[in-house]
Structure 1
Amino acid sequence: MAQLEQFTTPLDAVVSRMRALGAALPERDGVAVFNRVYLAVTEEVGRQLDAGRFPDPGAAITLDVRFAERYLSAVDAAAGGSRPPACWRPLFQFRRHPGVRPLQFALAGINAHIGHDLALAVVDACRSLGCEPAELEDEFDRVGDLLTTLEERIREDLMPGPDLLQIADPITHLLGAWSLERARDATWAAARALWALRRLPELAEEFTERLDAAVGLAGRMMLTPLPG
């Protein structure tokens, strides 16, 4: 009988799932492009946890696992024929479109995951840990810093053409209006608002739906097919 894989933490299980997903998808698939980006971030979180760089490792693991579960649930929904959250639908709809470039896929996935999933993950983690959002702000900021560093590298690696030609490339104009820093700030505000609304479920649900739709609209624009 095959030996079962052993996981030290729930984060290890998440990393294993992302690796398996990446191995099963074509390299050019839009979800595969984002998955590689997100896997790199999650692996780096694991390394920093091992190095003791998170002041509260338990809180960091809880937040990162709740965060990753939102993405993996969207993948499962799409694979099972269900509708994923609105923020993720553009990526699944256009994942094989030949006119959408890898950089667009990567940033559209980051937009969905940061703009929508992270706010909900903060609330999920607060409920699991019995704490206030302010107590997770250090963990939130550290994960955000990792994503910001990686986003810079992604743009350098996936931006087509030499630097002198980038200003004329349509992708420069299409994606230039989106900022991870602004998305992080908006997400933290959204997480605090959702936490404040936790005893008003109807308002919380409406807020979440509107957030989901707004992030999805931004993602759809980011995935506008471009000429080759």
Structure 2
Amino acid sequence: MTEPVWGPVHRDIVDLLADHPADVPAVVDHLTKLQDMLVRLPPLLDSCPLADFNKLYLTITTTVLDGLYDDRFVDPVFLSRLDVEFAARYFDALRLWTDSSPGTPKAWSCLFERMRGPDARPLPSAAAGVNAHINFDLPFALVTTFAHLESEPVDGSDQHRDYLEINNIFAEKIPGLRRGFLERWQLLIDMLNGDIDDWYQGELVEYTRDVAWRNAQKIWRCRHDPTAHECERARLDDTASALGRLLLSPLGAFLQ
């Protein structure tokens, strides 16, 4: 008999994924419960590569929720809807993997495949998840969000400014998150480097999210053309998958 995808926590994860979060507090709740399950997933347990990404995602989403409570965003309706649509794509990928579906995006499969080893270092694992979520999921989440709100992705709009505000959240959280993935000797090197690594990774996130916005605009223009839309989906999936496998390769260890 084939062992369940999620081993001893399979039923718990299946039950969690059966519910679709309808708002940002529910997304945070889902990510929190999922994190507790992932760190119990054998054989890697606390070093589960997906848990490394999920922890980072939970931290950023919790900060977004705090920002919604604190009136940080100009258009909270847009930001809330985007957060829900964005998370839905992550949870959908997990559902497909749970069902052993060949439809699981390749961008995510390369990380999911590592959950039973060989082990991957924490920072490359988290980076591979960020890559899949931003380079593949985010453009489509933007398109479904704008379609739902009967708006469109326009540069300089209130929605675009709120989108860019998320870059500031990453900039606030990246230093602590990144150092949490480092070993003692790596922390010493990090200290010697000063703020260079934090600056570089902040710039990388900003650039990557700008590319995602541009890709969303491209998909928006062809959203009523199934063939063109599928070409964009395949293109982004292939690109993110290639980068994800590079991040999880031995070369990815240089990230730390």
> TM-score with structure 1 length normalisation?
0.84
> Runs (4+) of structure 1 moved beyond 6 Å?
none
The correspondence for 1:133, drawn from 134, 150, 153, is 153
Task: For CA contacts below 8 A with separation 6 or more, give which structure has more relative contact order.
Answer: 1
Partner of 1:48: 67
Structure 1 vs Structure 2: percent identity of aligned residues? 31
Which consecutive unaligned segments of at least 5 residues does structure 1 have?
1-7
Look up the SS of the partner of 2:208 in the other structure: helix
Look up the SS of the partner of 2:47 in the other structure: coil
Q: Does the Cα contact within 8 Å between 1:67 and 1:118 map onto a contact in 2?
A: yes
Partner of 1:3: none
Look up the SS of the partner of 1:52 in the other structure: coil
Q: Does the Cα contact within 8 Å between 1:19 and 1:39 map onto a contact in 2?
A: yes
CA-CA distance at 1:97 after TM superposition:
2.6
Look up the SS of the partner of 1:88 in the other structure: helix
The correspondence for 2:235, drawn from 194, 206, 210, is 210
CA distance in 2, matches of 1:13, 1:195: 27
Look up the SS of the partner of 2:216 in the other structure: helix
Which consecutive unaligned segments of at least 5 residues does structure 2 have?
1-20, 40-45
CA-CA distance at 1:153 after TM superposition:
2.9
> TM-score with structure 2 length normalisation?
0.76
What letter matches 1:25 in structure 2?
L
CA distance in 2, matches of 1:151, 1:224: 22
What letter matches 1:74 in structure 2?
A
Q: Does the Cα contact within 8 Å between 2:28 and 2:58 map onto a contact in 1?
A: yes
- Give aligned pairs, total: 214
Question: Do structure 1's residue 119 and structure 2's residue 144 form an aligned pair?
Answer: no
Partner of 2:23: 10
The correspondence for 2:87, drawn from 58, 68, 72, is 68
CA-CA distance at 1:152 after TM superposition:
3.4
CA distance in 1, matches of 2:245, 2:180: 22
CA distance in 1, matches of 2:186, 2:243: 27
Give CA deviations for 1:39-70 in whole Å, capped at 9, x if unaligned.
11111111110011111111110011101111
Look up the SS of the partner of 2:106 in the other structure: coil
Partner of 2:34: 21
CA-CA distance at 1:98 after TM superposition:
4.2
